């Protein structure tokens, strides 16, 4: 069922605390933690605590939580003192999505090329 924890989901395990992560922020509905394989000086993932497979599924099922995730990306950027940053939602394996629990990448602290690869 949408939103329920999934036994085989890495990020549900991070939410549950059974897999460790470097958590930088937490709200009632979200957590933000450092990416284990950072692609920029700041690379933080903001996720809903509830399981949704991607950003669009999250927005459809729980739009208020999707808004919470976006609000938290700005909070992370503020804490990291980023004037500019990029929010990325890889959606689908062809776009590089590897974890099927919605997550916003917050990238900053270096020049960010546009268009991205």
Q: Cβ of residue 117: shortest distance to ligand AMP, in angstroms? A: 13
Q: Which residues bind Zn ion (CB under 5 A)?
A: 6, 9, 11-12, 51, 101
* Inter-residue contact 46 to 76 (CB < 8 Å): yes
If the CB atoms of residues 33 and 85 are measured against ligand AMP, the closer one turns out to be 33
| 70 lies in the site for ligand AMP, by CB under 6 A | no
Of 96-115, which residues contact ligand AMP (CB under 6 A)? Answer: 96-99
- The correct pick among 3, 27, 90, 109 for binding ligand AMP (CB under 6 A) is 90
| 21 lies in the site for ligand AMP, by CB under 6 A | yes
Q: Is 103 in the active site?
A: yes
DSSP notation for the chain: -TBS--TT-HHHHHHHTSS---EEEE-SSEEEEE-SS-SSSEEEEEEESSB-SSHHHHHHH-HHHHHHHHHHHHHHHHHTT-SS-EEE---SGGGT--SSS--EEEEESS---SS--
Where does this chain touch ligand AMP (CB under 6 A) — which range of 53-61, 69-77, 79-87, 95-103? 95-103
Catalytic positions = 103
């Amino acid at each position: 069922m949408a939103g329920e924890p999934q036994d085989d989901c890495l990020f549900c395990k991070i939410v549950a605390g059974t897999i460790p992560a470097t958590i930088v922020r937490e709200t009632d509905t979200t957590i933000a933690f450092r990416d284990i394989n950072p692609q920029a000086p700041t690379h933080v993932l903001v996720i809903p605590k509830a399981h949704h497979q991607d950003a669009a599924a999250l927005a459809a099922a729980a739009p208020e939580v999707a808004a919470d995730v976006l609000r938290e990306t700005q909070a992370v950027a503020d804490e990291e003192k980023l004037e500019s940053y990029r929010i990325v939602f890889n959606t689908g394996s062809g776009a590089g999505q590897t974890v099927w629990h919605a997550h916003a990448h917050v990238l900053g602290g270096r020049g960010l090329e546009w268009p991205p690869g």
